[in-house]
Amino acid sequence: MATYDVVYFAWVRERIGLPREEVESTAQNVSDLISELSEREPRYAAAFSDLSAIRVALDQDLAQFDAPLEGVHEVALFPPMTGG
């Protein structure tokens, strides 16, 4: 079991309802972590219903959803913003 600082931006944050939280998880990679969260509550499932519109950064490095979480402290999830 590891603890991660999970940070949400833009409409991901709006759907989940908070900007950051500590998450305890046994997930091996980002996809697993997102699946775990989605099963916890509908607001997570709603936020993560379309992962093609979400990007992830692990400890401030842009990463893929299959990237391993071992040794990672912070998981940031953000969509592209489009307004100008």
Non-local (6+) Cβ contacts of 71 within 8 A are: none
Tell me, what DSSP letter sits at residue 65? Answer: T
The yes or no reply on residue 43 touching another protein (CB under 8 A) is no
Q: Which is nearer to another protein, 26 or 46 (CB)?
A: 46
When binding is defined by CB under 8 A, the residue of 13, 31, 32, 35 that contacts another protein is: 13
When binding is defined by CB under 8 A, the residue of 1, 39, 60, 70 that contacts another protein is: 60
The yes or no reply on residue 22 touching another protein (CB under 8 A) is no
Quote the CA–CA distance of 79 and 68 in Å, as a whole number: 20
The yes or no reply on residue 14 touching another protein (CB under 8 A) is yes
**Are the CB atoms for 45 and 84 separated by under 8 Å?**
no
